[in-house]
Structure 1
Amino acid sequence: MSARKVEQDISAPHPRETTAWFGHRDAEMALLDAYRSGRIPHAWLIGGAQGIGKATLAYRMAKFVLAHRNPLAPAVQDAKNLDVEPTDPVARHVAAGAHGGLLTLERTPNDKGVMRTVIVVDQTRETVSFFGSTAAVEGWRVCIVDTVDELNPQAANALLKILEEPPRQSLFLLVSHAPARLLPTILSRCRKLPLRPLSTPDVLGAAAAATHTAIDDPALNAAAEAAEGSVARALTLLGGDALKLHQRTAALLATLPRVDPRELHALGDALGSSDRVALAAFIDSVERWVSARLRADDANANANLPRLARLAEVWEKINRAARDTESYNLERKPLVFSVFGMLAEATR
C-alpha cells in the first residue's frame, strides 16, 4: 500500500470496536487471573502513556466478562487470553455502544454540539441508575471511565461515592494517562494496572491492523519507529506531513529558552487553521519534550523540585489550551506562541 493510501486511512477504530491486540500480555493475564479466581477487585486503574492500548484493554476485559458471566465456568478457567469473537453478540453490542451491561463515561458534546473538555457530574451520576437497574441485563455490570483524568471535581467525588460502596457484581475499569495526579481516595480504592509503552514491532502490527496497511509499508515503519511505543502517536504521524511537523517542532523545542519569532510564525502557518492531525502532532511533540525534561529532572528531584513543579504546571495549561483550541476550532498560531512562551519562561 502506498504512503498516500496510508494517509487516507489513519483513522483508528474506537477501542470498543478494536479486535486486534498487541503486547501487554502480563496486564491481560492479571485481569483474567483475577476474574477466574472469583475474587476480582471491583475497581481497576489502568494507567500509562497515551495511545498504548489502555482503553482497548478495558473494552477487551468488559467484553470478556459480559460474554462469560460465570468466572468459574470451564470456558473462563481454560481461557488463554481475553479474546471474544467479533461475531459474538456481546462483542457486536459493545462495538455498537448498545450493550445494557456496559456504561462508558467519557467526554461528550454540550448542548451546542461542542465537545466538552471534562466529564461532568451528571454523567457520573448515571452510574447510580445503571447499577441500580435490574431489568436490562442480569449479572455483571461494567463501567469504563475513559479517562478518569477528565472528570471534573464534582464528577470525581460522585464516582468516589460509588467506588466506596460498590454494588454486587460491579466492575469499574478506570483509564488514566496520569494516575499520580488522581485523588488519593480514588487511587486507594483501585487495583493498579500500569501499562508500559509498546515495542516497535507491536506498534507496527497494531498500526498496520488499524489502517489495513501492509506491514512492510515504508511510511508505516517510519511512523512506528518514531512513535515511542504509542499506536495513537504512530497513526498521528501517518497523517499528511505530520512526521515532518513533529521534527520541525522538536527542532524548535531544542532551542529553548531562546525563541525565534519568525520560526514560530512559520510553525503556526504550518499548523493551518483547522487541521486536527497537524495540531495533534504539534501537541504530541510538546508532550514528548516536556516528559523528557521531567524524567531528566526527576533523576535529581531534590535539586530540581521548583523546575519540576513549573514544568508540570505549564503542561497542564498547555493541555487545556490545546483542548480548547480543538474544541472551539480556534486559530493555531496564538497557541504556538503561547506554548513556546510558557515553556521558555519555565526553563529559564
Structure 2
Amino acid sequence: MKAEPQSDCLEGCRHPRENDSLLGQAAAEAHLLEAYRSGKMHHAWILSGPRGIGKATLAYRTARFIFQNPDPQEIAADMTSLHVDASSPLFHRVAARGHSDLLVIRRGYDQKRKKLRSEIRADEVRQTTRFFSRTSGEGGWRICIVDTANDMNPTAANALLKNLEEPPERALFLLISHAPHRLLPTIRSRCCSLPMPRLAEADIRHILTRELEGEAGDGTDLDLAVRLSGGRAGRAIELLKNEGADVYRDIFGLMRQMPDINPELMLKLAGKLTPVARQAQFDLFFDLLLNWLWRMVRGGLTGFPDEIAPGEADIMRRLTASGELASWSALWEKVNQSFAEARVLNLDRKQLVLDTLFSIENTARETG
C-alpha cells in the first residue's frame, strides 16, 4: 500500500525528523544552544528562511536535544552542537513519531479527495491546547513544531496565538516559516526570530550526495541543479528528481532563439509538458522561466555577474539591450498571474504554455 504524501517532506527523501546531520546552519544551531543553556529559553521561536535550507531539520534537532538534556544547567560547557546520536533510542522514537511530548502540526491528508489539504485548519491547531494542558509524559519539556506556520488559515493562526500568549512551564513552540512577514503581527511579536541563511554550494553538493545515493545524475545535471537551487538543498533535490536540468535547457534553447522562435519547437515543448503525469515538470518550467525573467530584469539594472550556464548572460544582454526593462517586468507579472490562475482554475495547460511563449516572443520583438 502506497504511503500517504507528507506536506513536510520531499518524496523519496528522508524526513527531517530522521536526519541526524545539519549542514550550513552552525550559527543558528549555536544560537539556540546558547539560549537553552542560559536557562532563559524563550517559549516560542520562528525559524525562518527559504524552503529547503534545513529549518525543519533544526527544529527536530532542537527537540531531540532538549528531550535528552531536560535540565539546561547540566549541559557541559564544551558542548558545541545540538547533536543526538542517531543510534540512541530517543532519536528513533522521535523519528518514528513515538515521543509523547512532541506534537507536530502540519497540513493533513484529505482521505476523501486523496490529496494534501491546502492549509492547516483550526481543529488541527487546537490540538495544542489539549497537548499543553496535560502533564508531560516523561517529566520534561513539551515541544510543538508547526511546519509550516504560513500554512495556517486565519482561524488556525488565531487559535495558535492563544497558546502563545499563555504558555505553561517547560513549553516550547518551534514555528517554521518561509515568509515570516506574512504571519500575524501578534504571532511575530510573541516569538523570537531566528533567520537562517541559504546554503553554500559545497554544502548542497554534500547533501545531494548523501540524500540521493547515486541518483544525482551526471556531473552536468548536478552542477545545474546546484546553481539553479538558489542556496536551497531541497530545491536542488526537486530539480534532480524531476528532470529540472532538462527543463532549464529547454528554456535556454527557447530564449536563445528569441524573437524568432521555431513554431515546431514551441508545439513540441508544450506537448511534452502538459500530460498529467508531467505535473512536476510543468510546474518547474514556469518556476524556472519566471526566475529567468526576474534575473534578466535584475541583470539589466545591475549587470550580469553570474550565469547558470555559459552563454546565458549574453542572451539576457541581447534581449535587454534596448533598456525596455519595464516591458519585461510587466511580462513577468503576466506570466506569474497566468500560472497562478491556471493552477487554481485547472485551465488548459498546453494553451497556457503556448500563450506564454507567444508573449515572450512578442515582448522580444517589441523591445528589440
* Distance across 2 between alignment mates of 1:295 and 1:187: 31
Q: 1:102 to 1:308 in 2, by over 3 A?
A: farther
1:140-190 per-residue CA deviation (whole Å, 9 max, x = no partner) reads 111111111111111111111111112211111111111112211111111
Q: Which residue of 1 aligns with 2:78?
A: 78
* Distance across 2 between alignment mates of 1:62 and 1:239: 30
Q: 1:223 to 1:38 in 2, by over 3 A?
A: same
* Distance across 1 between alignment mates of 2:260 and 2:224: 30
Percent identity, please: 37
1:250-290 per-residue CA deviation (whole Å, 9 max, x = no partner) reads 67689999999976654443233123542453354256357
Deviates more, 1:151-160 or 1:270-279: 270-279
Q: 1:282 to 1:11 in 2, by over 3 A?
A: farther
- Do the aligned partners of 2:104 and 2:146 also contact (CA within 8 Å) in 1? yes
Q: Which residue of 2 aligns with 1:282?
A: 285
Q: 1:215 to 1:136 in 2, by over 3 A?
A: same
Residue 116 of structure 1, CA deviation? 0.4
Q: Which residue of 2 aligns with 1:26?
A: 27
Q: Which residue of 2 aligns with 1:59?
A: 60
- Do the aligned partners of 2:101 and 2:136 also contact (CA within 8 Å) in 1? no
Q: 1:240 to 1:172 in 2, by over 3 A?
A: closer
Q: Which residue of 2 aligns with 1:223?
A: 225
Gaps (5+ residues) in structure 1?
Answer: 1-8
Q: Which residue of 1 aligns with 2:202?
A: 201
For 1:16, what is the secondary structure of its paired residue? helix
Q: Alignment partner for residue 241 of structure 1, among 240, 243, 248?
A: 243
Deviates more, 1:269-278 or 1:257-266: 257-266
Deviates more, 1:154-163 or 1:254-263: 254-263
* Distance across 2 between alignment mates of 1:20 and 1:254: 41
Q: 1:172 to 1:240 in 2, by over 3 A?
A: closer
Residue 308 of structure 1, CA deviation? 9.5
Q: Which amino acid aligns with 2:126?
A: R
Residue 108 of structure 1, CA deviation? 1.1
Q: 1:90 to 1:217 in 2, by over 3 A?
A: farther
- Do the aligned partners of 2:225 and 2:244 also contact (CA within 8 Å) in 1? no
Aligned residues: 330
Residue 111 of structure 1, CA deviation? 3.6
- Do the aligned partners of 1:314 and 1:343 also contact (CA within 8 Å) in 2? no
* Distance across 2 between alignment mates of 1:33 and 1:82: 10
Q: Which amino acid aligns with 1:243?
A: A
Q: 1:216 to 1:249 in 2, by over 3 A?
A: closer
Q: Which residue of 2 aligns with 1:6?
A: none
Deviates more, 1:104-113 or 1:193-202: 104-113
- Do the aligned partners of 2:290 and 2:335 also contact (CA within 8 Å) in 1? no
Q: Which residue of 2 aligns with 1:98?
A: 98
Residues 290-329 of structure 1 aligned to structure 2 (within 5 Å): 292=295, 318=339, 322=343
TM-score (norm 1): 0.78
- Do the aligned partners of 2:122 and 2:155 also contact (CA within 8 Å) in 1? yes
Residues 93-172 of structure 1 aligned to structure 2 (within 5 Å): 93-112=93-112, 113-134=114-135, 136-172=137-173
* Distance across 2 between alignment mates of 1:136 and 1:313: 53
Q: 1:139 to 1:233 in 2, by over 3 A?
A: same
Residue 67 of structure 1, CA deviation? 1.7
- Do the aligned partners of 2:149 and 2:175 also contact (CA within 8 Å) in 1? yes
TM-score (norm 2): 0.74
- Do the aligned partners of 2:342 and 2:349 also contact (CA within 8 Å) in 1? no
Q: Which residue of 2 aligns with 1:187?
A: 188
Residue 207 of structure 1, CA deviation? 1.2
Q: Which amino acid aligns with 2:248?
A: H
1:218-260 per-residue CA deviation (whole Å, 9 max, x = no partner) reads 1434422332211112112212532111343467689999999
For 1:72, what is the secondary structure of its paired residue? helix
Q: Which amino acid aligns with 1:229?
A: G
Q: 1:111 to 1:85 in 2, by over 3 A?
A: same
Q: 1:324 to 1:13 in 2, by over 3 A?
A: farther
Q: Which amino acid aligns with 1:230?
A: R
Q: Which structure's CA Rg is the greater one?
A: 2
Residue 336 of structure 1, CA deviation? 4.5
What is the aligned-residue RMSD (CA, Å)? 4.0
Residue 340 of structure 1, CA deviation? 7.8
Q: Which amino acid aligns with 1:198?
A: L
Q: 1:182 to 1:94 in 2, by over 3 A?
A: same
